[in-house]
Amino acid sequence: MMRPLTVLTVHPEFILAYAKFGVFKAARERKLAEVTALNLRDFAVDKHGSVDDRPFGGGDGMVMRPEPLTAALAAVSGEPRVIYTSPAGKPWTHAEAERLAAGKEPLVFVCGRFAGVDQRFLDKKVHEQYSLGDFVLSGGELAALAMIDSILRFVPGVLGHQESALKDSFADGCAGGLEHPLYTRPPEWEGMKVPEVLMGGDHEKIAAWRREEAKRRTAELRPDLMKR
């Protein structure tokens, strides 16, 4: 069944451009999930396409009004899980991507712009808020695309055979840590050789080396991910 993922945004072009490629395209072509965008300006409060207004209490920046967001949400069929991309949200992680991928309900991603979104809409209509990290983006589109991309990787059938989301960093295949280092041709480059073991063809030895290297790398670069 084709799972609908809908992005509410004032810049649908961002979403549609990115959705032409990669896992977005694969998911659509394999009829697993379809990413679409609704233009909030089509649900504006006036003929000029207004979706925002000045903040009560004063201050810089415009705030997104609740009505266009609510009207756009009403245009989404089914009972979607509504996600708001926000610096105030829970940190987006591998585990959240896997969890949302396992669900069957339609997903809606609300992209804020300007100073943000009227709190009443967030309180009443949004189920979950996620942040991409401790920095501020000028809009939620990049965050929504990053979240959707990482979700689609966990939808069975979206990725090809060789690439398995279950073997990548943070997954069980890496014991929750980082992936081992990767090498390809040429065997020697700028005086640097590919580790001997990888050239030998002993699959057991290679697997053991990769496990060891993954552990070493995780301990060095992300000690917070060790022993999970």
Positions in the binding site for ligand SAH (CB under 6 A): 85-87, 111-113, 115-117, 131-133, 135-140, 143
Report how far apart, in Å, the C-alpha atoms of 111 and of each of 67, 103, 145, 207 are: 15, 21, 10, 42
68/112 with CB nearer ligand SAH: 112
Q: How far is the CB of 94 from ligand SAH (least distance, A)?
A: 16
Q: How far is the CB of 8 from ligand SAH (least distance, A)?
A: 10
Q: How far apart are CA 17 and CA 11, in angstroms?
A: 11
Q: How far is the CB of 92 from ligand SAH (least distance, A)?
A: 8
Q: How far is the CB of 79 from ligand SAH (least distance, A)?
A: 23
Q: How far apart are CA 92 and CA 114, in angstroms?
A: 22
66/177 with CB nearer ligand SAH: 66
43/92 with CB nearer ligand SAH: 92
Report how far apart, in Å, the C-alpha atoms of 70 and of each of 38, 47, 119, 124, 126 are: 12, 17, 13, 10, 10
Q: How far is the CB of 154 from ligand SAH (least distance, A)?
A: 20
For residue 106, what are its two tokens? 């339609």
Q: How far apart are CA 7 and CA 39, in angstroms?
A: 9
If phi over 0 gives left and psi between -120 and 50 gives alpha, with beta otherwise, what is residue 22?
left
106/140 with CB nearer ligand SAH: 140
The letter for the amino acid at 202 is D
- Which residue has the CB atom at the shortest distance from ligand SAH? 112
56/188 with CB nearer ligand SAH: 56
